[in-house]
Chains A and B, each alone.
Chain A
Amino acid sequence: MSTPPHPLRELWDDFSRNRGAVTGLVIVCGLVLLALFADVIAPHSAIEQYRDATLMPPAWQEGGNSRFLLGTDPVGRDVLSRLIHGSRLSLLIGTVAVSLSLGLGIALGLLAGFFRGITEIAIMRLMDIMLALPSLLLAVAVVAILGPGLINAMYAISIVLLPHYARLTRAAVIGEMAKDYVSASRIAGAGTLRLMFNCVLPNCAAPLIVQATLGFSAAILDAAALGFLGLGAQPPTPEWGSMLASALEFIQSAWWVVTFPGLAILISVLAFNLMGDGLRDALDPKLKQ
């Protein structure tokens, strides 16, 4: 008699059958490595200005120099090094924003799901109001209050992501609470906290994991958009969105300062989206088509 495969093994089997998802995972791992070892990998510092080499084209173009593979920006900083260091910021923003909003969202969702009535109405109404505003508009509103900056952009994005997690958690809690095993634990004397964290939460983790992965892509995209508008990271921080903004006036003369930062944003966002889609299909058999 054969034993059923371990759940994680099964998840990996389902996940790895999806070529796009695996590609996404590989890119994300690559990004994480880049971010961790940015100091070693990047050929130059992210902020050092080589005044004798401003706006130098990429190495393969005429006038390019193999010292600066992807060329230099208007003040002579190496574009490749700035992109590599920028991956640190994007992943940091993603991690902080997703963790903050996930933690707070789970807490609010659990509260709303366990203590129905006025608590639930108050929390869910607030979440509805936040969802009524499009994500970038809400982020812009929060930055208008807190003031521009990288840290404030992270808070703004956390607030934007928050309602999704709160709603998911609440819905999962309500669904789970109706099941017999939860009633059984309650009758056996389990307290509310134990019910919350031992019974209910592990069983509604799947949609939260998927949403958190997709949250990463939303966070990277919104942070770049805020940086681009001058409301996020401020120069000379090598954040991809603000790199684009500062290159704007050179769009006619130097295509590389505009092209590469955007490509970096697109690839990272795409990778997280591919991974999120793959995880959703693997975790939720109902969605498999």
Chain B
Amino acid sequence: MFGFLLRRAGLVVPTFLGITLLVFSLIHMIPGNAVEALSGEHGMDPARYSRLVHEFGLDQPLYVQYFDYLGKLLKGDLGFSIVTHEPVVREFLTLFPATLELSFCAMLLALIIGLPAGILAALKRNTFLDYSVMGVSLTGYSMPIFWWALLLILLFSVTLGWTPVSGRIDILFDLPPVTGFMLVDSLLSGELGAFRSALSHLILPTIALGTIPLAVIARMTRSAMLEVLREDYVRTARAKGLSRLRVIAIHALRNALIPVVTVIGLQVGTLLAGAILTETIFSWPGIGKWLVEAIHRRDYPVVQGGILLSASIIILVNLSVDVLYGVINPRIRRSS
């Protein structure tokens, strides 16, 4: 088991180094001057310019600059935002809980609806129910989620007035950030109104962000379930007199879930990408919105750090899914 862990972790290292290389070269690939891009200052006098060149290490050979960059990374130093002059890592850590909370809720929604829908569609194969589930899921899969979010706002916020349009909580509530998760913080504050407000702010972004994972999970569950239901052991289980429910819930589902777990892991990337759009629309103060704003403001240290950190999270999640997979399924552990 330990060897398996080590092998899998070893595979991640080159990918991670590749992404650091990509992010490092970003600053040299953008049109214009690296000093101006990193400092955010334009038209500075030659003395300051040469001082900054030295400060940023831009007078060093590229490979030295790269190793310096890696060295700083290892110390957790990702530079400072040009706009706020805050350390990039600190900004990221402040905003990340918001994205995490939203992504978690979106994934929960996708699982709660997607899994049963996929199972039902497989059991009622080629019926109206199956076609509806598949049709809706294909539509969800093709949905431009930024438009979907707008439609939700149009219906639930503008027309019906049920939910707020943007933000994480009503400005009336000024909660001290304890965990960074608004639902938890508002509960801790003991004010029921705050919790209700946080919850109502969360609903629409959750639906918008959860739609694509939901569609993918429903499709995947259906096809995995269909595959398993054809297996001999399912027929055997039925033949020896076990109830249909028992066979489906215990024999079939457990094996059908194996490919679904992989897909769930892959959806984390989709969630982070979707967060860029969803957060921009709902003014959700997370890393997606932060990244887009940084690009518009040409805040390159933030762009670099944001891309690197999001990519690292995705790599780590995929690694954990891989490992988890090996834990569930010993065959994979041995064959790799």
Contact = CB atoms under 8 A, between A and B. Distances in A.
Interface of A: 20, 125-126, 128-129, 132-137, 140-141, 143-145, 147, 217, 221, 224-225, 228-231, 241, 244, 248, 251-252, 255, 258-259, 261-263, 265-266, 269-270, 273-274, 277, 289
15 contacts: A132-B314, A133-B314, A134-B273, A136-B277, A137-B269, A137-B273, A140-B276, A217-B142, A224-B144, A229-B292, A266-B144, A270-B139, A274-B138, A277-B138, A289-B223
Interface residues of B, number: 45
A265 B144 contact: yes
A229 B277 CA distance: 7
A137 B276 contact: yes
B222 to A, nearest CB: 10
Contacts of B274: 136
A201 to B, nearest CB: 28
A20 B134 CA distance: 11
Contact of A132 (B142, B277, B280, B318): B318
Interface centre among B18, B143, B295, B314 (most CB of A within 10 A): B295
Given A258-B154, A262-B144, A143 B295 contact: yes
A244 B291 contact: no
Contact of B311 (A20, A133, A217, A259): A133
Given A126-B18, A136-B277, A140-B295, A270 B142 contact: yes
Contacts of B150: 244, 248, 251, 258, 262
A252 to B, nearest CB: 5
B247 to A, nearest CB: 21
- SS class, residues of chain B in contact with chain A: helix
A145 B26 contact: yes
Interface of B: 14-15, 18-19, 22, 26, 29-31, 138-139, 141-144, 146-148, 150-151, 153-154, 158, 223, 226, 269-270, 272-274, 276-277, 280, 291-292, 295-296, 300, 303, 307, 310-311, 314-315, 318
Nearest to A274: B138
A277 B300 CA distance: 40
Contacts of B31: 147
A4 to B, nearest CB: 29
B26 A262 contact: no
A104 to B, nearest CB: 17
A132 B311 contact: yes
Contact of B158 (A125, A251, A277): A251
